[in-house]
Amino acid sequence: MKILIILTTLFSLIKNKTEETSSYLYNSYIVYDSNTNKVLEGYSYKNQRGVASISKIMTAVLAIESGMLENFVAAPNEIKKGIGSSIYMEEGEVNSIEELVYGLMLRSGNDCAITIAYAVSGNIESFVNLMNQKAKEIGMKNTIFNNPSGLDEEDEGNLSTCEDMAILTSYAMKLETFRRITSTKAYKSTHHGIWVNKNKLLNQYEYAIGGKTGYTKKARRTLVTVAKKDDTEIVVVTLDCGGDFAFHKSLYEKWFDQYKTYLLIEKGNHTISNFNIKCDEDIYASFENTENLIIIFHIMKEEKKMLIHTNRDSIILGRCKVI
């Protein structure tokens, strides 16, 4: 038996004049709704390129999910191979893995990436296998990780796309610890003074809440940022883009003006028309225009499911269970 419940809500969205993207030089970019996994705008965002240090987002995810954040580990001899960005650890220096993740995300420490890899997996090769397994698990279809740092002098480096990096960042932002660390503007380290986040957008744009910078001579500038306004959370990724911080800000201003995300149902238990509903995650929907929005809840008692549709999109936006 199917019971149809229709709730109609009027939402008014204002569409303002948008900035043109033609004033910026870029190889590829994407604007991505992290709540609905919808591509809002982009160019060549499926093209695979070197991504440099923004690949450290995956290293941070694996460190956080390892359950070892409170463990203290010594820097291995191999940190000497971590040329470029560094927090300047010495061999044998002891830090917590959580502090290494701060050094990884705020200062792009290649020595942090290497130390994390050895602490979590015992060696670089095993850790890289974990990176690639995780990429497949979360839907990154065009990504190949070769190291935990993003360096590309000794190998091909890490190859990915704007789309895949947006998928990864959206996944990472669902981790409370990652969200806290990536949004930190400055951190007082145990051994190396105060680390200031290289993501300048955190200080330049009021809605910025995270991201990661990257650069190598081969990959050129790469940048991931995240911004949130009300319930709308957007990820922007650029690969080989001049003026990237300004470009990201312009894209956020454009989309926050004409686009809005609505939280339809919060995670947890609910009662709808005498049915007990359990949602394992927050359910969102996002729209661009000013038409009336009709939200349709299909209560499927026998299948023990609730499907959510709207009059503006035929896809199922979320699933909840009837309990």
Q: Do 317 and 293 meet the contact criterion of CB atoms below 8 Å apart? A: no
**194 exposed, middle or buried (CB, 10 Å; 0-12, 13-18, 19+)?**
exposed
**Ordered DSSP codes for 46-59:** T--EE-GGGGHHHH
Q: How would you class 155 by CB atoms within 10 Å of its CB: exposed for 0-12, middle for 13-18, buried for 19 or more?
A: exposed
For residue 220, what are the β-bridge partners?
A: 216
Helix axes 110-121, 56-65, angle to 10 degrees: 40
> Which of these is catalytic: 55, 108, 170, 286?
108
Element (H, E) at 182: helix 176-182
Half-sphere exposure of 138 (CA within 13 A, CB side): 21
From 28, 34, 55, 56, active-site residue: 56
Radius of gyration of the chain (CA): 21
Residue from 28, 53, 55, 121 carrying the catalytic annotation: 53
For residues 301 and 315, is the Cβ–Cβ distance under 8 A? no
Specify whether 53 is catalytic: yes
**Is the alpha carbon torsion for 189, 191, 193, 198 positive or negative?**
negative
Q: Which amino acid is at 112?
A: C
DSSP string, 289-321: S-S-EEEEEEEETTTTEEEEEETTEEEEEEEEE
- Residue 171, CA distances (Å) to 57, 126, 226, 249 in order: 10, 22, 12, 22
Our answer to whether residue 56 is catalytic in this structure is: yes
The span from the first CA to the last CA of the chain, in angstroms, equals 15
Alpha carbon 93 to its chain's center: 30
Q: Which residues are catalytic?
A: 53, 56, 108
